[in-house]
Amino acid sequence: MESLFAQLVVLESSLVLIFGLVLLWRRRVPAYVSAFTWQSLVLGAVALTVGWFGRERELYFIGGLLVLVKGVAIPRLLGRMERRFASEREIAPYVNTATSLLVAGLLVLFGYAIMRPVVAASDLPTRAGMPLAMGLVLVSLFVVVSRKKALTQVVGFLMLENGIALLAILGTYGIPLIVELGVFLDALMGFLVMQIFVYRIHSTFETIDVDQLDRLRH
């Protein structure tokens, strides 16, 4: 039972990380949106798995919320934005695909390195997945700094949040529910504000390429 639990969690966490890597080798925004959707759904599944085997009822609720907010609501809004900016592709990111994948590999390794004391401190069956969560956090951070389209950056940010949520679920079986609700509220509000700004960037600059945002350079 214990080993099934551990294996299932590592499998799901790996999937969550792999969906994060999609941002590095695909160029079209629809691919990003579906990668994020699938990632959020698998993350919801992680919450349910940990809730079931770890006997944490609260995690069912968190899992449901993850699926609803990040697996359904946000992807819909993202889809609307993506259709609006269909012509905008991530043509020439600051770092090319091959280098990006290499960097991502190194970042995942780095995630393993810095998480060693954390994994060593834990005796939970879920501990093997935690470095993967850190890997996703670092890779998403890299996506945000190396990509030029505002929409790609938003998806990168959302994946960063997913990485942290995964870390919380695996490491602590979920942070206290009331705090978690606040975090969800912030995530949703933050996304909505970013969405407003992406539309505004588009109407002001007629592109969502943030490389064009260079008026304020001193």
Where does this chain bind other proteins (CB under 8 A)? Answer: 114-115, 117-118, 121-124, 137, 141, 144, 150, 153, 157, 160-161, 163-164, 167-168, 171-173, 175-176, 178-179, 182-183, 185-186, 189-190, 193-194, 196-197, 200-201, 204-205, 210, 213, 215-216, 218
Q: Are 36 and 155 in contact (CB under 8 A)?
A: yes
Give Cα separations from 205 to 32, 124, 211 (angstroms).
23, 50, 11
Least Cβ distance, residue 66 to other proteins (angstroms): 15
Q: Which is nearer to other proteins, 77 or 210 (CB)?
A: 210
Q: Which is nearer to other proteins, 19 or 142 (CB)?
A: 142
Least Cβ distance, residue 57 to other proteins (angstroms): 13
Q: Which residues lie closer than 8 Å to 106 by C-beta, 6 or more apart?
A: none
Name the one residue in this structure whose structure tokens are 């969906």.
19
Least Cβ distance, residue 74 to other proteins (angstroms): 14
Q: Are 169 and 62 in contact (CB under 8 A)?
A: yes
Least Cβ distance, residue 104 to other proteins (angstroms): 17
Copy the structure tokens of residue 18.
Answer: 């792999």
Q: What is the CA radius of gyration of the chain?
A: 18
Q: Which is nearer to other proteins, 49 or 126 (CB)?
A: 126
